[in-house]
Each structure stands twice: as C-alpha cells, then as structure tokens.
Amino acid sequence: MKKIVLVLWTCSILYACKKDSNAETSTTKNTVTYTTEGKTYTVNESKKITGLESTFVNSYIYKGSSYNSFNLDVEGSNLPFEMYTSIDGPLTGIGHFTDVIHGWVKEKYSGSQGYDIVEADVNVTTSSSSQIKGTYEFTLENTSGTKTLTGTFTINQHAQ
C-alpha cells in the first residue's frame, strides 16, 4: 500500500512540474539599445526566472483624453544600464514625445551612477497592440554634469 501511495505522489509531483503546453513560444524578444560616449549596449528581454538572470523590458503608451504618455522600463541584474521613462506626447500615439514627466537612467558599467532625464525626444514610429517601436535621445544630468545618449526600442511582447 505504501508503494502505491509513493508512486501516486511521485506522479502527481511530476505532473505538476510539467511545462504548460499553452506557454508562449515566440522567440521575438523586446529589445532596447543604448548608445553613449561611442559605445552601444543592447538588452534583450530574458524569460529566465532564476533569480539574478531575469530581465524585464516593457513599453506602453497610455492614451488619455488630453495627452498620451510614453513609458519605457528596462530592469534586471547584470545589465549595462537600467532605465525608466514617462514622457508626454502627441494624442495620435505616433511621433515625438518630448515633455518629460519622470525619468532616470542608471549605468552599471560606470560605477552605478544615476542620472535624471532632463530633456527627451522619443520618436515613436510604430504603435499597435502588438508592437511599439522607435528611437530616443535623452539629455541626462547628475552631480557630475550632463551627457547625451541615444538608442532604439522594439517592444514585441507586452508584459503579462
């Protein structure tokens, strides 16, 4: 009797741990590039959920009655940079977003220095339910001074 219970218990554990057949199988990842001082860094969203290996890259456009807000979030461990932006722009959701509401960038390769985004030009070229794509140019500022960075973003899978 104990053997039957043990076999049933083991089977139930193995069944509970099996991969969900409805899981997303797309290989297209959210991507953000970051260029500053002649160096370009690229972050692709990782679907690994193993502690320090997870990376989150997401973007969305909030459409209000009198404004639209572009938001871009890049977070994770062992990345060359992390950033968060919220910038107001055109009601169409396409075009240049320039009114910085909140934004910061943290560069891990330069002593984890944090910067505020004080000026921005985010050019959204594609905005649909399945993709947000475009380029950006930010002016950053901290106690050490100011600098400019540019980059691109392609968001194919929104956060779930």
pLDDT of residue 25: 39
Residues 6+ apart with CB under 8 A from 56: 45, 73, 74, 75, 76, 159
Q: Is the pTM value of this prediction over 0.85? A: no
Digit-by-digit pLDDT tens for the chain (160 residues) are: 544 433 344 444 444 444 443 434 345 677 888 887 788 888 876 544 444 455 777 777 888 888 788 888 888 777 778 888 898 988 888 899 999 888 988 887 666 678 999 999 999 998 887 888 899 999 999 988 898 989 998 888 654 3
**Of 91, 102, 99, nearest in space to 65 by CA:** 91
